[in-house]
Amino acid sequence: MEEKRRGQGSKDSQKYQGGKTNNKQSVSRRTFLTRVGGVAAASVAVQAVGLSSLGMDTSTAEAAEIGRDKPKKRRERAYKIRRDAARFQHDIPLPDHPDNGDEALFANKIGSYSKALPHNNLGEVDLSAYGALIGALTSGDPNAFEAIPQGSSVRQANPQAAYTFSLEGPDSHHLSVIPPPAFSSQEEASELGELYWQALTRDVPFVEYDTDPLTQAAAVDLSKFSVFKGPKVGGVVTTETLFRGNTAGDLTGPYISQFLWKDVPYGAQTIVQRYHVPIEGNDFLTGYAEWLSCQRGFPPTASITFDTVTRYISNGRDLGEYLHRDFTYQAFLNAALILLSFGTAALDDANPYKTTAKQAGFVTFAGPYVLDLVARVANEALKAVWYQKWLVHRRARPEAFAGRLHNHKIGAASYPIHPEILNSQVLNTVFSKYGTYLLPIAYPEGCPTHPAYPGGHAGIAGACCTVLKAFFKETFVIPNPVVANTDGTALDTHAGPALTVGGELNKLAANIGIGRNTAGLHWRSDDIEGISLGEAVAIGILTDLRATYNEFFGGFSLTKFDGSTITV
């Protein structure tokens, strides 16, 4: 059958090219070329076949199309929209892309990403291998990436994506983020201190943060860091602000967003958000040999042990595992479906179909459009993130920094690590529990094989939540709010302050970004800047789309993560 199909295809092609063909075959071929082959292929098909050879009345064919624009005018309007969008993005001044100076400062590259390259016994990268990585990134030559030395079998995560172009919204190279904290800075020290405390408190239920001795100690210790940029009350970290985001809504109500707990209406079924979670204390990379093997790119030999009971997300370990196995825009697809289930009242007031009497949205300004756009901006955000990760910052992951700290503390090496983390109570607690100063990681493979800054999950969160803010009413109060009980086996009624769509979307973005920190993979600043970068990507795409609608529409109005309001 396959040979017959191939032979028939070849025969049809010969007939088409030779012009000896019946009308039925020609129409099929022409339709295929028009729909799939693009304008050039369609033009060739029309020239070769011609409407008259098909026995078609050309006047009838032309008259079949109605609408405001005839084909030529429509083509010109479509071209103008695309041209104007490209020109708008082109004319925005180019930003600077400064880094934190660590790569140039440290000849041994202790502040730079190097996972899965060859390393010495201190976990310091082989400089020739690092040079090959930089050479490949500088040239962009695909062959150069294949020549980068490997420490073992683990591969680098898609560095060539840093060069990918976008045809909608801003180009990845046209967006910028501030430099991350430097290796020896006070801010870096505070961020590492937070990560150690997040690792130590993974099994503390969120509803017990106020009373648990570990979370109480974490709040006291983090308050001592001179440049800690997490939220505070009265100038100090409290158990109510611990490990939360800095945006409006982050400090209101439960730690976890409603969009990670509520049932998800999924077509003809309902998804109950109970998940397979690891057992208590299931940590990795706390032994030096295991840590060094991971830095060199060897696959893990350990694996996660899962609880036999599925649970709602109720602690940091649960959240970290959710973010271990989620697909890119999963949380935001779920959020969109939950928001759509709230009905018209939850839609943004600018939606043109919220007040129409004889039309309803579908292809535009309704469910199909929102669901498509949430997915579409996710990968565009990753392009912007990947450019910053690979071609600008190349920031070391927390697990690598913790290895530097461990070797410094035991006297195997001397590194310029800020005293505020070296003198923190958290290191004594970690050493007492694990026998090393390494950062306990929630995943056996450790961090992914791409640089830390900014965060990929955070970039997606910023982009997707921005889209949802644009289409839904941020002040809409979420009905029947819930909170997971201590062990995550049930949802209880949340009896606290009202929770709004805008606040819970901000909280969702923070949960997704900071949840990766809880697993030990990212720094707080990775999340803050990743969310901001993703937001810029989404706003750029919404700006392009604004010119494509026929409806009377006043623009997308939303509150940015920094609290300012804009209309696109």
Residue 97, CB half-sphere, CA atoms under 13 Å: how many? Answer: 16
19 and 29 Cβ atoms separated by less than 8 Å: no
Q: For residue 122, give Cα distances in angstroms to 29, 167, 319, 449.
A: 64, 44, 32, 19
Q: For residue 97, give Cα distances in angstroms to 101, 177, 395, 536.
A: 12, 7, 14, 16
Q: Identify the active-site residue in 408, 450, 494, 522.
A: 450
- Peptide bond between residue 352 and the one before it cis (omega within 30 degrees of 0): no
382 and 456 Cβ atoms separated by less than 8 Å: yes
CA 64 to chain CA mean position, Å: 45
Q: What is the DSSP string of 287-317?
A: SHHHHHHHHTTPPPS--PPBPSS-B---BHH
478: closest CA among 435, 443, 508? 508
447: closest CA among 503, 506, 383, 523? 523
Quick one: 30 exposed, middle or buried, by C-beta within 10 A (0-12, 13-18, 19+)? buried
Name the pairing type of β-strands 565-567 and 557-559.
antiparallel
Give CA–CA dist 565/568, Å, rounded.
Answer: 10
What are the start-end ranges of the E strands in 219-315? Answer: 264-266, 269-271
Name the pairing type of β-strands 491-493 and 557-559.
unpaired
Q: For residue 56, give Cα distances in angstroms to 50, 66, 72, 493.
A: 9, 19, 21, 67
| 457 is annotated as an active-site residue | yes
Q: Identify the active-site residue in 90, 457, 494, 522.
A: 457
Catalytic residues: 450, 457
